[in-house]
Structure 1
Amino acid sequence: MSQIQNSIQEIFSFHLFELPFYKFPYYLFFYLKQKKVKGLVHAETLVPMQLGESILSKKRYFLSRVVLVAFWKSEEDLDSFLNLSKKDPISRGWQIRLRLYRRWGKIRELNSAKLYTENVNRTKPIVAITLARLKISQLIRFTKWGKPVEKQVRDHSGKKLAFACFRPFRNFLTFSIWNSENEMIQMVHGMDSKKDGIEHKEAMEERNRKDFHSEFTTLRFEILKEMGMDVNQLFY
């Protein structure tokens, strides 16, 4: 993936790493909370999940892996954190550095993030992240409408990589890399029902009728840099 050389301030980073099972609860619930991390505005740690698998299937959950998505004041702060974490499992995992250029919806902790809209090349691969705080009362509806969308994204030809994540009991995230913004938009709006499907479009209409979430945001990013191990080795 291409590397953008222009100077930036705020960035996001997304990390996926393996760790011993006995360390899993600590990294999921307490990692970073006990540290004073310079320049870290907000972070979420979650369990990665395979799209399209039954919620009761063992194949769905990667319980020896953790996802960290973080919002930093600067790339220097991220580098400093990683330099101090060389003995940590995160140093041996996969990371991708991102610059935010579009936001729809609101998550309180991310509302201050700046949008960098200038010079975005939307014909190159882009990253889409959704982050949601689910209303527990809407879990059954959310699952009913969400599972078809998972399969639609998983099987779409414009997708390079996609998976979901969660942290008990109401935090959900989806992460996807697309060949281009246009291909992602075509899927979202079901522009070609045979190629793109209409599951996402129908789920959005249902969400607009009665929201599944107390908070929800969709974020779109330009890719700055990808580093570390081959991410496919963490899934396949």
Structure 2
Amino acid sequence: MPKTTVHRQEVFSFHCLEVPFYKLPYYLYFYLKGKKPQGLLHAEVLLRMQLGEPLFSKQRYHFSQVVLVAHWESEEDLEFFLHQSKQDPIHLGWQIRLRLYRRWGKIREIESAAIYQKNFDVKAFMAAITLARLKLTQVFRFTKWGKPVEKQVRDHPGKKIAFAAFRPFRSFLTFSIWNSESEMIQMVQGRKADRDGLEHKHAMEERNRNDFHSEFTTLRFEILKEERMLTKDSFR
């Protein structure tokens, strides 16, 4: 019998972890460095934030929750890591497994991530992640243009769930799930101003004029699997 070749496809996973407040620095900066999971290509751990809340309000920051986005050589490597981490907060939190099908822009650590052909219905749920390294000199300008976009995304009828995250002092992330890719594109492009808004479109024009970031990427994903289904009540 000829040997069967198993094709291992890269996957991303996105997690939300409940952690003790006093361990927050450990999770933000050291959590996975000591574990060295097999097959982990890159990971980012950030503090979760509520979209649209004032910058200095306590409602904006969830100091007992961190989010983790991880890039794996295969889903088997992710499964092995979770199996070895049954006493870890990552095992108890929710997760989504994702396959990358579009990338725009560049973040050095995930520049080599494989991009797969989109093979799901255009009307199906899809996920989007943006990841940015802010220029410290542009923080206040980024906040000025970014806050209206946060409210636009938060209130858009086409999104299922959306939130942001950051890691001091330069890393910023947004994560969203949309009812369909077309609804997300309509929001980004502001096709119907009365429904989709124009904030994102204007912010991108301003970014093109004078970039807020030293690195920036936006990623679109097919959703492979959800654990602990996401709802709008999950992140209030």
Same fold (TM over 0.5): yes
Q: Distance in 2 between matches of 1:70 and 1:62?
A: 20
TM-score by length of 2: 0.94
Give the secondary structure class of the aligned counterpart of 2:59.
helix
Q: Quote the offset at 1:230 in angstroms.
A: 5.0
Moved more, 114-123 or 210-219: 114-123
Q: Quote the offset at 1:229 in angstroms.
A: 6.5
Per the alignment, residue 78 of structure 2 pairs with 78
Q: Quote the offset at 1:122 in angstroms.
A: 2.2
Q: Distance in 1 between matches of 2:15 and 2:221?
A: 15
Contact 1:100 / 1:114 at 8 angstroms: preserved in 2?
yes
Task: Give the partner amino acid of 1:194.
Answer: D
| Count of residues in correspondence between the two structures | 230
Contact 1:93 / 1:229 at 8 angstroms: preserved in 2?
no
Q: Distance in 2 between matches of 1:44 and 1:159?
A: 23
Give the secondary structure class of the aligned counterpart of 1:33.
helix
Contact 1:163 / 1:176 at 8 angstroms: preserved in 2?
yes
Structure 1 residue runs of 5 or longer lacking an equivalent are: 1-6
Whether 1:59 and 2:55 are equivalent positions in the alignment is no
Per the alignment, residue 186 of structure 2 pairs with 186
Task: Give the partner amino acid of 1:164.
Answer: A
Give the secondary structure class of the aligned counterpart of 1:67.
strand
Deviations 1:93-129, CA, capped at 9 Å, x for gaps = 0000000000000000111111111423221000000
Per the alignment, residue 21 of structure 2 pairs with 21
Give the secondary structure class of the aligned counterpart of 2:206.
helix
**1:123–1:234 distance in 2 versus 1, CA, 3 Å:** closer
Give the secondary structure class of the aligned counterpart of 2:169.
coil
Per the alignment, residue 117 of structure 1 pairs with 117
TM-score by length of 1: 0.94
Alignment of 1:1-236 (within 5 A): 9-228=9-228, 230=230, 232=232, 234-236=234-236
Q: Quote the offset at 1:29 in angstroms.
A: 1.2
Structure 2 residue runs of 5 or longer lacking an equivalent are: 1-6
Give the secondary structure class of the aligned counterpart of 1:132.
strand
Task: Give the partner amino acid of 1:150.
Answer: E
Contact 2:152 / 2:197 at 8 angstroms: preserved in 1?
yes
Give the secondary structure class of the aligned counterpart of 1:64.
strand
Contact 2:161 / 2:230 at 8 angstroms: preserved in 1?
no
Q: Distance in 2 between matches of 1:95 and 1:233?
A: 16
Contact 1:134 / 1:212 at 8 angstroms: preserved in 2?
yes
Task: Give the partner amino acid of 1:56.
Answer: F
